[in-house]
Structure 1
Amino acid sequence: MNDEARFLGEQSYVELTTFRRTGAPVATPVWIAPDGEDLLVVTVDNVGKTKRLAHTARVELRPCDVRGTVVPNAPRYAGRARVDRDRAAVARVKRAIGRKYGWWYRALTTVEPVLERLPGRKPRATIVVTDVVLLEP
């Protein structure tokens, strides 16, 4: 894992920016965790960011707070992302996020097995971010 990815993996929250077909950016604050050479994001599937990643792998990332507020002059990074819906990939991201966020994440996911059985519940997916590089400020 390069230094840029390592830095992002250490952040509590990261603004993940995906791009519409028009090129318009859409930013979302996310939890992110390093795992091997990848950065992993857990998400609900079939939402805007997973749909946008279906047509472009381009993403940008910046450190932020829980509300998505980016500190002025925060570094901006570019990367490539893909959505992995495989059960093993979802288990992988849950382990990585659990290792990083500890009891807080486990507390939030305690009821998840029950909620997953409810009608209309969207499955989880993994966003795998690779090839992270620092963009010019």
Structure 2
Amino acid sequence: MSVIDEIGRSKHVSLVTFKRDGTGVATPVWHVTEGNELYVVSEAKAWKVKRVRNTGRAEVTVCDLRGRIAPGAASAKGTARLLDEAGTAAAREKLARKYVSSRVGNWFARLLHLRRPPLVAIAVTL
């Protein structure tokens, strides 16, 4: 099994994005893979989005819900970029297919007419 397959099968990954000074900041996230790309959705004002804008470097490692990485966990380096509205909508649909909690949250937000902050998708080419 390839590293990308192992990453794709996991429920969570630690997405490391880098500050301008080279310091990495890890965030556990939901993800979905397609080919050699990994997709993550985040609020547009999140710091990880700002770091992707500044430098496209990213690292992805399989982790648990709290971001703890097991010894020998699958890991890959890649280049991150932000997607446009159509790409973000497609990534959100893919995530909703993988995660039931995402579908439930989206359904409640629509049902209750909740205002949600703008979202943006991050694509990491591994």
Q: TM-score higher than 0.5 here?
A: yes
Q: Of the candidates 97, 104, 108, which is equivalent to residue 107 of structure 1?
A: 104
Q: Does 1:124 align with 2:119?
A: yes
Q: Which runs of 5+ in 2 are unaligned?
A: none
Q: Which runs of 5+ in 1 are unaligned?
A: 133-137
Shift of 1:36: 4.6
**Could you tell me which residue of structure 1 aligns to residue 78 of structure 2?**
79
- Identical amino acids, percent of aligned pairs: 37
The alignment covers a number of residue pairs equal to: 124
How does the TM-score come out when normalised to structure 2?
A: 0.88
On the 8 A contact 2:14/2:27 being kept in 1, the answer is yes
Shift of 1:51: 0.2
Q: Does 1:94 align with 2:120?
A: no
Q: Does the residue aligned with 1:91 lie in a helix, a strand or coil? A: helix
Q: Does the residue aligned with 1:110 lie in a helix, a strand or coil? A: helix
Kindly provide the CA deviation profile for residues 78-102 of structure 1, in whole angstroms up to 9, marking residues without a partner as x: 0111111x2211211111111112x
On the 8 A contact 2:28/2:66 being kept in 1, the answer is yes
Q: Does the residue aligned with 1:112 lie in a helix, a strand or coil? A: helix
Q: Give the Cα–Cα distance (whole angstroms) in 2 for the partners of residues 76 and 90 of structure 1.
A: 24
Give the RMSD, CA atoms, in angstroms.
Answer: 1.8
How does the TM-score come out when normalised to structure 1?
A: 0.82
Give runs of ≥4 in structure 1 deviating > 4 Å: none
